[in-house]
Amino acid sequence: MLSLTAVQDGTPVPVPDPVRMVHLQLRRFAGCPICHLHLRSFVRRHAELESAGILEVVVFHSTTDELRPHVTDLPFPAIADPQRRLYRRFGAEPSARALLNPRVYPSVIRAVTVGTVEFLRGRAKLPSRTPTGGRLGLPADVLFAPGGDVVARKAGTHADDQWSVDEVLELAR
């Protein structure tokens, strides 16, 4: 069992949870435009995920201070892992493939465009120009059953290779 701490309010986050499924998302760095866009889809459908008995937990390879301004409005716990302990444990190592894979280019363009508009409207903060752990992180997803068995896992092959909300809900069934 992992005992993590939510950046937003310091509450403990047990992973796995004894009664709910846990979708552990290993994202990239605080303020990552691709991650931000992806997480918005989970925020919009948070009630649906909760109704299915799924606790979302999102991890970034950033420090608490870097992460806090970017996650205050998330309805689920955000975890700082600047030493990448969870990333190594679940096979999400950094790689140049994160941004060099051509399949990520449309996502980068969309994410930067949306992020720029949100920044200009005062709804988003810019990421650090030198984020802890760099920009070459790969995402990963792990779905835990209540009590601890791993139901499914995915190691991303590029920066936008992660489960959608629909995929998480399907796997949880």
Tens-digit pLDDT profile for residues 86-103: 999 988 876 666 666 767
* Contact (Cβ atoms closer than 8 angstroms) between residue 38 and residue 166: no
Q: What is the pLDDT of residue 113?
A: 75
Per residue in 36-63, pLDDT (tens digit) is 889 999 999 999 999 999 999 999 999 9
Number of structural domains (the chain) is 1
Tokens of 34: 């691709």
Query: What domain range is 80 assigned to?
Result: 2-172
Q: What is the domain-level CATH number for residue 36?
A: 3.40.30.10
E-strand stretches of the chain? 2-5, 12-15, 21-26, 54-60, 78-80, 140-144, 150-155
Stated pTM of the model: 0.85
